Chains A and B, each alone.
Chain A
Amino acid sequence: MLNMYGTALQSRLMLGTSQYPSPASLAESVKTSNTQIVTVSLRRESGDSLAGQHFWQMIQSLNVHVLPNTAGCHTVKEAVTTAHMAREVFKTDWIKLEVIGEQDTLQPDVYALVDAARLLVQDGFKVFPYCTEDLSVAGKLLDVGCEVLMPWGAPIGSGRGLNNPYGLRTLRAHFPDVPLVIDAGIGLPSHAAQAMELGYDMILLNTAVAKAGDPAKMAGAFAQAIEAGRSAYEAGPIEKRDMAEPSTPVLGKAYLV
């Protein structure tokens, strides 16, 4: 069974909670996805609308683990401070660490990411770092105490699928025992299945579900694809060949020329 920082999980899908057409749509999508982990954030709360209070009540009613993020942070200080604030309000030492380095692609600032991860691990956090497929960065994140890595598939919200299957396959092969989660860029269930066939342990989705015409139905489709991809990985896919090989036996074929 999959294990993330000592928490056993049956579902291999993490679901983001942003951009749904309604709170009811989010709640229904969480149910059809069968996810056990949802991602959340911290944002300014108005003393008048108190929107965050209603959101938090709804999330608590879903009976899932929450993984707070540091989305939108661009510096080590911002990310570390946000993580400390998240730990107090969400009562969890899990943190999805994002330190954004480039505004067009929202790719991580991997230098700041490693520095922030080091500080947070020292402070007792269980860090889920949003990273790239770069092997040396992955190694440094593990060196500073991360036990899970979350490489991107493609830029956040792009829906492009796996931009660099070779790099992701290499990362999987290089760290065979580290839980690896594809975070960001997935657009279709087939993208998620491809990542699972490569041996990835989980998929984190948000936009592909939330912005679908029917989010709950899409969440269910992703759950099936992820399960199918995982089963295919466990079953051992065949190797690709350049030339054809008959699948029907040649021996015993009648001479009818």
Chain B
Amino acid sequence: MNIVINGEPKVVHTEGLQDVLHELGYQNKVIVTALNGHFVSEPNRQQIQLKEGDKVEVLAPMQGG
């Protein structure tokens, strides 16, 4: 399935958001997610099934002023 992760096109082999995050190396990492511009809290990730063309943002703590 083709989706967009952090602005980059990706081909993923699973459909659950949590599974996709594992597939892409984010398992057990301090991250926060959004789907198509909407915040998806950690407890809700399990329930999210991605569709072709979905846009996922995976963010983490970073330097800031």
Contact = CB atoms under 8 A, between A and B. Distances in A.
Interface string B25-65: 11001111110011101100000000000000111111111
Contacts, number: 106
A17 interface: yes
A42 B37 contact: no
A107 interface: no
Contacts of A45: 6, 26, 29, 31, 58-60
Given A44-B6, A45-B26, A46-B6, A55 B31 contact: no
Contacts of B61: 40-42, 52, 55-56, 59, 89-90
A47 B63 contact: no
A207 B60 CA distance: 22
B35 to A, nearest CB: 11
A241 to B, nearest CB: 40
B32 A88 contact: yes
A52 B38 CA distance: 21
Contacts of B24: 47
A157 B64 CA distance: 12
Interface secondary structure of A, over-half rule:
mixed
A105 interface: no
B7 A18 contact: no
Contacts of A40: 61-64
Given A85-B32, A89-B30, A55 B62 contact: yes
A44 B63 contact: no
B38 A89 contact: no
Contacts of A85: 32-34, 39, 59
Interface of A: 16-20, 26, 39-48, 50-53, 55-56, 59, 68-69, 71, 77, 81, 84-86, 88-90, 156-157, 204, 206-207
Given A17-B63, A20-B63, A59-B61, 19 more contacts: A40-B63, A41-B63, A42-B60, A43-B60, A45-B6, A45-B58, A45-B60, A46-B6, A47-B24, A48-B25, A50-B60, A52-B31, A53-B30, A56-B61, A71-B65, A85-B34, A88-B39, A90-B61, A206-B65
